Chains A and B, each alone.
Chain A
Amino acid sequence: MFKWYQVAIGAFLISGIVSASVPVQAQELAEVAAKADEAALAGHNAWMLTSCALVLFMTAPGLAMFYGGLVRSKNVLSIMMQCLFLMGLMTILWALYGYSLSFGGDGPYIGNSDYLFMKNVERTWDEATKAPIEPMAGAIPRYTHMLFQGMFFIITPALICGAFAERMKFSAMVVFSILWGTLVYCPLCHWVWGGGILAFGSDHGLQGGALDFAGGTVVHISSGVSALICALLLGKRKGFGTSDLRPHNLTYTILGAAMLWVGWFGFNAGSELASDGLTSSAFAVTHFSAAAGVLGWAFYEWITNGKPSVLGAASGAVAGLVCITPAAGFVNPMPAILMGAAAGVVCALACGKLKNSFGYDDSLDAFGVHGVGGTLGAILTGVFATRACWNIAEGEPLGMLEGGNVMPGQLTAIVVTWVFSIVATLIILKIVDVAIGLRVDENSEVRGLDLTEHGEEGYIFV
């Protein structure tokens, strides 16, 4: 047994250790927590900046090569220039006011001036703390959020260029893109992602709002439907249906499609706006859907035409990617495979049968792939979305398959986006037509836009 003085000494020592260690442990814990926060921020930000680069990679070289190969050799520079120029033009608009109109405030219809000219985005000096202030957007710096969303603002009008390729004036394309980006993209982006009338779970959300993880509505339906209007209003290319309008370099197109596939991981998995478990899920389903899209389109052609075309396989990959875009954060892998395969077949039908039946000249099938694929994806998101991926409705089931009720919101968003895109694009095109004219003259179209619009040739073998 311990003697009384041994117990007293022991108690004295223990009390001393405890009283000394409590503040030390708390301080250490705070330091560990701060370091963990810092590490998490660094991890999220690293992935998101990578995603920014991946999404920009989709416009050029990705889309530029994908589209560049599909036009005739006399127009290869013109379509690549449209992609490249939009990387410049849309970025500046985004910095000046686009980001603010899209993500400023949470009003129902349009953003506010919170981020005009990068106000509240850029770092500022704080006299009180004698340190710079870094504005944040959730887990990442607002700079990163602005950049990531800006890449979407670039590629969306670039997708439309596929519809009026080989015949639209460059100047008309520039004015159209400014107006379309400002009057169609920014409001739509705000409606879906900025807390507006199509945002899921917001006070303003029509029919509860729409699930659109990475841009099925904002990017693909809007650009695809607008593309169809462009094709209809501009009319067919000279020689459509009679002359040889074959793609001049399918090897470009295949490489471009492969680049789009790679870039789409940033597009979809980046749309989690962080690097976590859902990011991995979005990455996986994006990959699976693209893979199934290749098979869907190729097997459809194999069965109906006797040969699986290379262009069909590449187009199938893009169709699968488009279709999974709204669903990327909401569906599991097996539904993703179904969605990709369905998109491959449905988009192949849209580009082949539908276009030929109605006789419109959507030169590079911007509507057939993005409009149709995006709409299909938005509908199937309403079917397959599961709270097991993203518990966005706080425990309530989402898609029809798990007994949820998001479909009315999905369909409402689709109808609103279709109607808005059609009406706004028609008005914009009419204005541009009256002001400067939409289409190059016949002689320019025959000689090719590379020479007549840019004074250069794509291929000079001397």
Chain B
Amino acid sequence: MKKIEAVLRHFKLEDVKNALSEIGVAGMTITEVRGFGRQKGHTETYRGTEYAVDFVPKVKLEIAVAEDRAQTVIDTIIRTAQTGQIGDGKIFVSDLTETIRIRTGETGNGAL
């Protein structure tokens, strides 16, 4: 099993969610996050006082998938979240050692 974490632009979330649903992803978790990569931050001015805002608001999507489905999910996210501009986000993939459905106690791929 793999855990896929994707940091995305807010306005791309709906497209990504719909595309993932279409390829059969059954569930996902969303978190409001802040961070920066190469995009860095931006400057805001309040009555002549400038503030450098380093951490840009993004949304983080977390999905647990079977290992053989991971690449399809990654490709789908890239396809739908890409604008080509700096700040499109990142995808992090890690090994997932166990998944347990709390309602039934099922484990592994069956719990996904």
Whether, in the assembled complex, A309 has its beta carbon less than 8 Å from a beta carbon of chain B, the answer is yes
The answer to whether B49 has its CB under 8 Å from any CB of chain A is: yes
Residue A236 at the chain B interface, CB threshold 8 Å: no
Q: Is B11 an interface residue (CB 8 A)?
A: no
Query: Contact between B48 and A348 (Cβ–Cβ < 8 Å)?
Result: yes
B-binding segment of A52-60, A123-131, A192-200, A351-359? A351-359
* A305-B43 Cα distance, complex, nearest whole Å: 11
List CB contacts (< 8 Å) of A297-313 with chain B: 301, 305, 307, 309, 311-312
Contact present for A305 and B51 (CB under 8 Å): no
Alpha-carbon gap, A305 to B46, bound state (A): 11
Question: Once the chains are docked, how many angstroms separate the CA of A307 from the CA of B46?
Answer: 11
The one of A245, A246, A247, A353 that contacts B48, using a Cβ cutoff of 8 Å: A353
B31 at the interface (CB under 8 A from A): no
Set of chain A residues within 8 Å of B45, measured between Cβ atoms: 301, 305, 307, 309
User: Which residues on B sit within 8 Å (CB–CB) of A305?
Assistant: 45
Residue B38, interface by CB 8 Å: no
Q: B47 in the interface, Cβ–Cβ < 8 Å? A: yes
CB-CB under 8 A from B47, the residues of chain A are 309, 311-312, 315, 348, 351-352, 365, 368
Contacting pair A356 B46 (CB below 8 A) = no
Residue among B44, B49, B51, B53 making CB contact with A356, cutoff 8 Å: B49
Contact digits for B52-65, partner A, Cβ 8 Å, 1 yes 0 no: 01000000000000
In the assembled complex, A394 has its CB within 8 A of some CB on chain B: no
- CB neighbours (8 Å) of B48 from chain A are 348, 351-353, 355-356
Closest-CB distance, B50 to chain A (whole angstroms): 9
Give the distance to chain B from A349, nearest Cβ to Cβ, in Å: 8
Q: Shortest distance in angstroms between A170's beta carbon and chain B's nearest beta carbon?
A: 25
A301 vs B49: C-alpha distance when bound (angstroms): 12
Could you say which of B46, B48, B49, B51 has the most chain A C-beta atoms within 10 Å of its C-beta?
Answer: B48
A244 touches B46 (CB 8 A): no
Interface of chain A, helix or strand or loop or mixed? helix
Q: Which residues of A contact B51 (CB under 8 A)?
A: 244-246
For the residues of B in contact with A, the DSSP-based class is: strand
**Shortest Cβ distance from A166 into chain B, in angstroms?**
14
- Which residues 51-106 of B sit at the A interface, judged by CB distance below 8 A? 51, 53
Digitize A300-330: 1 where CB-to-B-CB distance is under 8 Å, 0 elsewhere.
0100010101011001000000000000000
* Shortest CB distance A309–B (Å): 6
Nearest-Cβ distance from residue A318 to partner chain B, whole angstroms: 11
A337-380 vs B, Cβ < 8 Å mask (1 yes, 0 no): 00000000000100111011000000001001000000000000
A56-98 residues at the B interface, CB under 8 angstroms: none
* Cα(A92)–Cα(B110), bound, Å: 71
Please, which residue of chain B has its CB at the minimum distance from the CB of A365?
A: B47
Q: In whole angstroms, how far apart are the Cα atoms of A348 and B49 in the complex?
A: 11
A368 CA / B49 CA spacing, docked (Å)? 13
A244 contact set on B, CB distance < 8 A: 51, 53
Give the residue name and chain of the B residue nearest to A355 (CB): B48
Asked if residues A247 and B49 are in contact (CB atoms below 8 Å), the reply is no
CB of B65, distance to nearest CB on chain A (Å): 32
Closest-CB distance, B14 to chain A (whole angstroms) = 23
A228-247 vs B: 1/0 string, CB under 8 Å?
00000000000000001111
Chain A residues with CB under 8 A of B46: 246-247, 309, 311
Q: In the complex, what residues of B have CB within 8 A of residue A353's CB?
A: 48
Give Cα A20–Cα B72 distance, bound, in whole angstroms.
Answer: 110
The residue on A at minimum CB distance from B45 is A305
A368 to B46 alpha-carbon distance, docked (Å): 13
Q: Within 8 Å CB of B44, what residues of A? A: 246
User: In the complex, which residue of chain B has the Cβ closest to the Cβ of A297?
Assistant: B47
**Nearest CB of chain A from residue B42's CB, rounded to whole Å:** 12
Per the bound structure, the CA–CA distance linking A312 and B49 in Å amounts to 11
- Chain A nearest CB from B32 CB (Å) reads 13
With the chains together, A311 CA to B48 CA distance in Å? 10
CA of A212 to CA of B68, assembled, Å: 80
Give the chain B neighbours of A247 by CB distance below 8 A.
Answer: 46
For the complex, what is the distance from the CA of A356 to the CA of B45, rounded to whole Å?
A: 13
How far apart sit A307 and B47, CA to CA, in the bound complex (Å)?
12
Distance in angstroms from A163 CB to nearest chain B CB is 14
B43 to chain A, nearest CB (A): 10
- Chain B residues with Cβ below 8 Å from A356 are 48-49
Q: What A residues does B49 contact at CB under 8 A?
A: 352, 355-356
Residues in B neighbouring A348, C-beta threshold 8 A: 47-48
Give 7 nearest A-B pairs by CB, closest first: A352-B48, A351-B47, A246-B51, A311-B46, A305-B45, A351-B48, A352-B47
Identify 4 new A-B residue pairs, CB closer than 8 A, beyond the known A247-B46, A311-B47, A351-B48. Answer: A246-B44, A246-B51, A305-B45, A309-B46
Residues of B near any A CB (own CB < 8 A):
44-49, 51, 53
What are 5 A-B interface contacts by the 8 Å CB criterion? A245-B51, A247-B46, A315-B47, A355-B48, A368-B47
